[in-house]
Amino acid sequence: MEKIGLIVDSTTMTREDLKKYKFLKEVQLKIQIDQKTYVENQLTSKEMEKYIDKGKKFLTSQPSPSEFLKVYKTFFKDGYTHVIAVLLPHKISGTYQSAMIAKTLVDFDLEIEIHAPESASFGIALGVKQLAETIKKGKSFVEVQKKYYSIFKKPLVAFTLGDLGHLFRGGRLNRIQAFIGKILKIKPIIEIIDGKLDLVRKERTNIACMEYFISKIKDYTKEYKNVYLDVISLNMEEWGQKLIDYVKENLKKIDIHVTNYVSPVFYSHLGNKGFGIAIVAE
């Protein structure tokens, strides 16, 4: 009889309801602050906001292959026959590569499938929730795999940031662009395109950003029967709520989740202020 486990990396643990699945395990990314290295679950959002406000510099790193191998062994010892891992895209992190290397070191009978969808963080969490429910229902590994390809066929992560400085420090804006953007109060819209974070639009107002997000949601409702939406807001609760209210009033039959947290790694790259959406659909 098949016993199926699920692996995510720590950047995906943005929602409490994922913690209830006993067959789900996470592998930790790391973040270095002032020469001290932490695994992600050692840092709270309040601590990260404090470090960001102080202008601290961050270095991040992926889990090692040995850390993945340890999790694979734990699943095997607990009687699992199959494991599916859903991780950050390889263009964002080396996490996927570490998982693949660890798989080549497995010398015990455990079938492992490793995926890196065109999504990240709360976007992956949105789809992983659907995968976890499929496993909970006792579906076969073949059916779980089919669910992965269905739910992550066309994922979307789109958000705007309250501070262009983090994009500049991350190399996605040069100094002049960041300066002009700050003076003109430009609102950047970031999406995950081809497995990496891309600056796709520059708006002048939060209203324009919200209208863009709504247009994206509408596109999915026209194309898919089941649409799962996550609205994220970090210290921009007013705009997150406006987006939720619009969807509830105008776009029916959408499953909505609300997130107000990203992992320390994403705080370090994107800052602590912004709002946006993630969508998976089938």
In a domain, 141, yes or no: no
Split into its structural domains, the chain has a count of: 2
pTM (two decimals): 0.91
In terms of domains, do 124 and 8 share one? yes
In a domain, 88, yes or no: yes
> In Å, what is the CA distance from 168 to each residue of 173, 177, 232?
5, 8, 22
Which residue's structure tokens are 């995968």?
131
Instruction: State yes or no: pLDDT of 226 exceeds 60.
Output: yes
In terms of domains, do 51 and 14 share one? yes
CATH number for position 194: 3.30.1180.10
Average pLDDT over residues 169-197: 65
* Domain end residue (candidates: 88, 104, 135): 135
β pairing state of 196-203 and 187-193: antiparallel
pLDDT for 250-264, tens place per residue? 998 899 999 998 899
In terms of domains, do 211 and 121 share one? no
CATH number for position 125: 3.40.50.10170
In terms of domains, do 241 and 271 share one? yes
In terms of domains, do 113 and 163 share one? no
Residues comprising the chain, all counted: 282
pLDDT band at 200 (very low <50, low <70, confident <90, very high): confident
Residue-level pLDDT at 270 = 78
In terms of domains, do 121 and 210 share one? no
Candidate from 5-9, 134-138, 264-268 with smallest mean pLDDT: 264-268
Instruction: State yes or no: pLDDT of 14 exceeds 70.
Output: yes
- The parent domain of residue 97 ranges over 4-135
Phi, psi of 113 (to 5 degrees): -120, 130
pLDDT for 151-180, tens place per residue? 999 999 999 987 655 554 555 444 444 444
In terms of domains, do 109 and 202 share one? no
Residue-level pLDDT at 167 = 54
Average pLDDT over residues 136-143: 98
